[in-house]
Every structure is written in C-alpha cells, then in structure tokens.
Amino acid sequence: MSLDANRAAPIARVGAVDAVSLRGARFRYPGAIEDAILIDHFAVGAGEHVFVKGPSGCGKTTLLSLIAGVLVANEGVVALDGHDWATMSSAARDHVRADHVGYIFQQFNLLPYLSVLDNVLLPCRFSRTRAARAGDQGSSAAVRARDLLAQMGLGKEQAARAASTLSVGQQQRVAAARALIGQPALIIADEPTSALDEAVRESFMRVLLTACAEAGSALVFVSHDARLADRFTRHIDLRLLNRASSIREEASA
Amino acid sequence: MSELLSLAVRSAWNRRFVLSLVMSSIALSTFLLLGIERIRSDVHENFSQSVSGTDLIVGARTGSVQLLLYSVFRIGGATNNIRWSSVQAIAKSRAVAWIVPLSLGDSHRGFPVVATTGDYFDHFQYGDHQSLTMAEGKRFSGVFDAVIGSEVASRLRYKLGDHVVLSHGDGAFAANDHADKPFTVVGVLAATGTPVDRSVHISLEAMEAIHLDWVAGAPIPGTSVPADQVMQHDLTPKNVTAALIGLKSRAAVFGVQRYVSEYDGEPLMAILPGVALDELWDVVGIGEKALLAMSLLVAIVSMAGLVAVILAGLNERRRELAILRAVGAGPRQVLLLLALEGGLITASGVFLGFVLSALAVLLLGDWSASHFGIALHLHRPGQDEVILLAGLLLGGWVASLGPGYRAYRLSLADGLSPRT
C-alpha cells in the first residue's frame, strides 16, 4: 500500500518549478578579499538527479550552504523550490529548509542517543509539512519511516536499535531515509559514500537513487569520485560552473 | 517545544556521566543552602523559644539583653540581686498570676546552678508553650535534692541517687566548693533544647543553706554549719537574682512593667522576653548571615561549574548541532535546546538537593536535638526557602544561557559543516 503511495507522489511534482535555481549568484565570506562563489546560471529541475563533481577547495561546501539557505548570496538569486532565500528572514529560511531540504552528510549523520527510527523521524519534529506529508497517506509518519528503512534494507529490528550500534554503511542508509522522509523537494548529499567501501557504496547508491526517484525529490549529489557519475544522466563540474576568482587561481596553480 | 524537551533530555542522558557530576554539585550546594537555612531558622526558633509563657522577667536594673542572658541563658552574672521582699510585693500585685524566683551564681562542673521554687516546674515553659517534664525521678523536696537537666545527666553520666558537690561562683577556685553539703540527684528533666538542659536545679532554701556560713563570697572561718543542722536556721532567702512572671492577662503587661520599674523599694526593671530575645538575636545573628553568604558562594561556584562543563562539551557537540540544523532546527532552537538542558540539570540538581536536605532533617533531626539541642523540623518550605530555591533555579538557568548563546553563535557560523 505504501509503495503505491510512493509511486503516486512524483506525479504531483511533474511540471513544478525548479527545485534549485541560481542566477548570477555571488558570495564572499565576510572579511574575505575574494568571492567564494560566482555562478551565472545553475538549475536543478523538480525530481532531477544531478552529479556535482568537484575536488575540495572549489567552493563545494559554500555552494551547498547557499542552496540550503544556511548562507545567503551577496548578489543574484538562489532559490529553492521557487523560494528566494534572500527575501526571507533567518527564521523563515530555517522553516523552508526544514520543509524542503533533506541533507546527507559525509558521515556521522545520526544522533547517537536516538534510535534509528527516531533519527529518521527527526525532520518531522521540526517540520509540520514533512510530518504531514509523511503521514498523509493514511499512515503515521512512523509507519512511513519504517517503510523507508525497509526500502534501505533495514528491518524492524534495526529500526529499534540505537543509531550508534549500526555500521557506517547502515548509518548512511538511515541518513538517506531521514533525508527522504516527508518527500522534500531537494535532497543534498554531500559526499555520502566517501566513508563506505566499494560493495556497500554500490548498494547505497542503488537504494538512494531508487528512493529519490520514488519520492520525486530532486537530488544534488556531490562527490569527487568520478566512478559514481555513471549513475547520473546530468553531470556538473563545479570547477567550470564556479567562476569565482579564488577558484580559478587555485585551479591554475 | 515538547519535541525539543525530549531531545534535550535524551541528549543530556547520553552525556549523563559528566552532567550528573554537575548536577551533584548543584544538588550539594542546594543541600548546603537549604541545610544552613533550615538550621538557621530552627536555631532561631529554638532560641526564640528558649522561654515561653513568661510575660515578664524581673531583675536588678541593667541592660535588657544582659538580664535575659543571665536569667534565661545563664550566661554572665547579675550586677545586683533583688530583695526577697520585692519579689513578694510584686507577687501580691493583682495582675500577676505566678512568679518564679531564680537565684543564680553557683555552678557544678561548669553547669550553672539555678535555685528556684517548685513553681518553676509548673510555670516555666519553652518552645510552643511546652512545660518541663521529668525524664526520670521527681522534683526536689528535701533541702539537698537536685534536679538536673538532660545534658548535665548525659555529659556527666549522672543517674538518680548520685551525689553532686556545687561550687561557689564559676568553680574556678577549688576552695570555694560547697563540699560539706553534697546534693543528691532526685530527678532528671527531659531534653528541651533550651538552657534548662544545662542547668542544675535546687531549691531556694538549699541555696540559702549552702551559704549559711558564708559572707561576701567566702566561707567564714570557724563557723561551719554541718549539713544536718541547716534546718535549725531560717532558710528563707534574702535575695534572688531574677524572677519570671506570668500574668493573668497579657493586656496588663505594660502596666506591670511600669509598676516594676517604678517600684519604690529598690531599682528594678522588667523586660518582655520576646523583645529582648529579638535584640539578642540581632547580635548573634551575624554569624549565621556569614554562613549563608558562604553557602551562596558555594552555589555560585557550582553554577560556574555548570557553565564550564556545558561550554567544554560544546565543541564535541558541534556535529550534533549541525545534524539538528540539517534536519531543520534553527539557531534559535539550538539556543533553546541548550537552555532547556541547563534548566533541566539545574532543576534536577535543585530537586535532588531539596530531597537530600529533607532526608537529612528527617534522619538527623533527633540526633541533632539530643546532641546539640537544635531541634530540626521537617515542614513545608517557608518563604525564605522558596526564595532560595527559586534563586537557585533562576541562577542555574541564566548561567546555562551563556553556553546556549555560544552554541547559537557556533551553529550560525558552522551552518551544516562543523569544523571538527
């Protein structure tokens, strides 16, 4: 029953506004002498999966922070699901982020003192929208969370365990389930596989991409591991995208 | 809010070892503050209840505190005695219900000797109008009978039938012993927590008898009166040191006070015990304030400990804060989370300290009453305690806002990528 519900979801998003759009976005850290980000145009359509390749030092963290609305561009527009971050107060940005963004870190994604299930349900604590979306298909958010975990290959027994008892690969899957709960418009995955060995990485990528597709969430997947790029139809090289002078100097050096 | 609270609880539980240390230190300082406050108020209460049911204390003219000190607390000496005829005259006054004369000045191994009448046991009251009761034995009836207070009995291990020798004055000079006229312990009073526990009570006649052959504070050589011959002498006292007065109606208290102070026969004064006790407490209360100040300092130190521990743990928690930010918590919620944590630790510490102090009073109350004469009572926290508790709670919570603000700044700066 929940599978049907999952399939139904992406249809609602087809034709929606871009999940992410940057136009003439420039960002410079306070006190810095050069821009960290200067991007003329970059957009991720609703439900689209994008592989962003970039070695460290090319503004990857800054870009993700801009997209997630943690940082606000000095110039230009950075919008999420049609919301321009610059027009919002910081409290409103927190709200929009909670409602529309799922975030997967490189590692240490989980709060060790919560159970796996509670970790997955965390976004529902901060966002009524996501709690409602996770629960609006006739089942509670907890049921949806268990479904997502099951999709990630984690059973009921593991859902009840403390997050700290899981292997790194399992933890990343839990993080993916958490990012996906409540079907946010955008999933940001910041090198989520760098701590995983190859076999685990393969299965992680498979379940992540499948689940994102089923949830209809756009995915911005950042990695410097080119081997993963094959799984994506659209590739972006951040060194080419970001025209900030600090990056060019670093690239040419 | 309740979501954050449950997160705060679980996060704190995850770091329970360190946090429990901080909580214990807050509990201890709460215990200390409440304990000192409890002892202070109970000592004050005991003190102010050293005498009750007595409307006036009459003595030779002196300061009111001094009169109170020697008549009730048996500390120091009287500058002057009052004549027996004066006591009798006051006793005849219509407003006076009873009068208990006290003759002081002798001692037994450091414990004051109080010569009085049998009325003392009927009318002297302490605490909340509690009368004296005999733990064992009976009141004095013979001339050389003595009734001792509970502390005298326990400290000197006296029992009924023991013989005691009184000393003239403070007993510093052995030749001044009334060794020729030993007394027999016939009664032991139950503990009262008042100076009565430290007193040896004899009759006024006995006081007269042991001084028959004395003049001006020394035995008259060659005129010794043997103990068995004292009854041949007139043992009516000529002087007493002070007298406790009970009135038929308290309304007459100022009238009688004026009557005593304007008494023709000799210069006398009458004091209201309650008023004099308050005056005296003002003097001895300074030490207690110092104690309270000390324990306040201890409380401040434990609050500083709270701040230090939360601050020190903050760096390790940047990851946790970033995760919370990533799942939608704003910096304000991070601040709130830390404030909740501080409030929780403070509240549980204060609660623990409160329970500890109640337990201590419950378990040690009797022991303290019998050893120190300080009766501790368990009762609903009074206004002072509520203020103390509220102050501790508020102090701890405000102190935890410091680390909370730091976490707020950190999480603003870190965003989703903590630099750890």
Place of tokens 């509990």: B27
Q: Is the dihedral of CA B105, B108, B109, B111 positive or negative?
A: negative
Whether the per-residue pLDDT at A8 is higher than 60: the answer is no
Q: d(Cα B31, Cα B29) in Å, to the nearest integer?
A: 5
* Pair B411, B327: CB distance under 8 Å: no
Measured between beta carbons, the chain B residues lying within 8 angstroms of A109 are: 323
Residue of B3, B7, B318, B327 to mutate for A, most A C-beta atoms under 10 A: B327
Q: Which of B135 and A12 is assigned the larger pLDDT?
A: B135
Q: What is the pLDDT of residue A51?
A: 92
Domain boundaries, chain B: 2-47+285-414, 50-279
Find the chain B residues whose C-beta atoms sit closer than 8 A to any C-beta of A.
3, 7, 10-11, 13-14, 319-320, 322-333, 415-417
Mean pLDDT of B89-113: 86
Helix (H) or strand (E) holding A188: strand A186-190
Which of A65, A95, A126 shows the shortest C-beta gap to B327?
A126
Measured between beta carbons, the chain A residues lying within 8 angstroms of B8 are: none
Q: d(Cα B71, Cα B163) in Å, to the nearest integer?
A: 26
Q: Specify the range with the lowest mean pLDDT, choosing from A106-115, A122-131, B176-185.
A: B176-185
Q: What is the pLDDT of residue A15?
A: 47
Which of B320, B325, B331 shows the shortest C-beta gap to A111?
B320
Q: What is the pLDDT of residue A10?
A: 39
Query: Confidence class of residue B171 from pLDDT cuts 50, 70 and 90?
Result: low
Q: d(Cα B380, Cα B378) in Å, to the nearest integer?
A: 7
Q: Which residues contact B251 (CB under 8 A, 6 or more apart)?
A: none
Search chain A and give the residue with CA nearest B322: A109
Binary contact (A113, B10; C-beta < 8 A)? yes
pLDDT in tens, A91-107: 888 888 888 999 888 87
Q: d(Cα A48, Cα B250) in Å, to the nearest integer?
A: 95
Decide if A68 touches B, using CB distance below 8 A: yes
- What the block records as the tokens of A16 is 């929606």
Mean pLDDT of A167-173: 86
Measured between beta carbons, the chain A residues lying within 8 angstroms of B324 are: 111, 122
Closest CA to B60 of B84, B82, B88: B82
Query: Confidence class of residue B334 from pLDDT cuts 50, 70 and 90?
Result: confident
Percent of chain B exceeding pLDDT 70 equals: 90
Search chain A and give the residue with CA nearest B417: A61
Measured between beta carbons, the chain B residues lying within 8 angstroms of A190 are: 416-417
Helix (H, G, I), strand (E, B) or coil at B182: coil
Mean pLDDT of A133-139: 69
Measured between beta carbons, the chain B residues lying within 8 angstroms of A98 are: 327-329
Whether the per-residue pLDDT at A16 is higher than 60: the answer is no
Search chain B and give the residue with CA nearest A126: B328
Pairing mode of beta strands B130-131, B125-126: antiparallel
- Burial-class residue B376 by CB neighbours within 10 Å (0-12, 13-18, 19+): buried
Q: What is the pLDDT of residue A7?
A: 38
Search chain B and give the residue with CA nearest A29: B413
Which of A61, A98, A111 shows the shortest C-beta gap to B417?
A61
Residue of B4, B416, B420 to mutate for A, most A C-beta atoms under 10 A: B416
pLDDT in tens, B24-40: 888 988 888 888 887 77
Whether the per-residue pLDDT at B226 is higher than 70: the answer is no
Average pLDDT, chain B: 82
- Burial-class residue B262 by CB neighbours within 10 Å (0-12, 13-18, 19+): exposed
A109 Cα to chain B: minimum distance (Å): 6
Mean pLDDT of B112-140: 84
Decide if A61 touches B, using CB distance below 8 A: yes
Which of A216-225, B45-54, B223-232, B308-317 is most confident?
A216-225
Q: Which of B219 and B160 is assigned the larger pLDDT?
A: B160
Binary contact (A65, B416; C-beta < 8 A)? yes
Binary contact (A70, B11; C-beta < 8 A)? no
A190 Cα to chain B: minimum distance (Å): 10
Residue of A27, A37, A70 to mutate for B, most B C-beta atoms under 10 A: A70
- What the block records as the tokens of B39 is 């002892």
Which of A64, A65, A94 shows the shortest C-beta gap to B328?
A94
Alpha carbons within 13 A on the beta-carbon side of B285: 13
Q: CA triplet B294, B297, B301: central angle to 5 degrees?
A: 140
Mean pLDDT of A28-51: 87
Domain boundaries, chain A: 2-252
Q: Which of A253 and B407 is assigned the larger pLDDT?
A: B407
Classify residue B201 by its DSSP letter.
E
- What the block records as the tokens of A99 is 């409602």
Binary contact (A111, B325; C-beta < 8 A)? no
Measured between beta carbons, the chain B residues lying within 8 angstroms of A130 are: 328
Search chain A and give the residue with CA nearest B15: A113
* Pair A188, A19: CB distance under 8 Å: no
Query: Confidence class of residue A50 from pLDDT cuts 50, 70 and 90?
Result: very high
Whether the per-residue pLDDT at B136 is higher than 70: the answer is yes
Search chain B and give the residue with CA nearest A115: B10
B306 Cα to chain A: minimum distance (Å): 21
Query: Confidence class of residue B91 from pLDDT cuts 50, 70 and 90?
Result: confident
A174 Cα to chain B: minimum distance (Å): 13
pLDDT in tens, B272-308: 888 888 888 888 778 878 877 887 888 888 888 888 8
Q: What is the pLDDT of residue A9?
A: 39
Which of A65, A112, A114 shows the shortest C-beta gap to B417?
A65
Percent of chain B exceeding pLDDT 90 equals: 3
Query: Confidence class of residue B355 from pLDDT cuts 50, 70 and 90?
Result: very high
Instruction: Give long-range contacts, CB 8 A cutoff, 24+ apart: B351-355.
Output: B352/B23, B352/B24, B352/B26, B352/B27, B352/B30, B353/B26, B353/B27, B353/B28, B353/B29, B353/B30, B353/B31, B353/B32, B353/B33, B353/B34, B354/B30, B354/B34, B354/B381, B354/B389
Give the Cβ contact number of residue B132 at 10 Å: 20
Q: Which CATH superfamily is domain A2-252 in?
A: P-loop containing nucleotide triphosphate hydrolases (3.40.50.300)
Query: Confidence class of residue A186 from pLDDT cuts 50, 70 and 90?
Result: very high
Q: What is the pLDDT of residue A5?
A: 39
Overall pTM surpassing 0.80 (yes/no):
no
Helix (H) or strand (E) holding B96: strand B96-102
- How big is chain B by its Cα radius of gyration, in Å? 31
Q: What is the dihedral of CA B362, B364, B366, B368, to 10 degrees?
A: -140
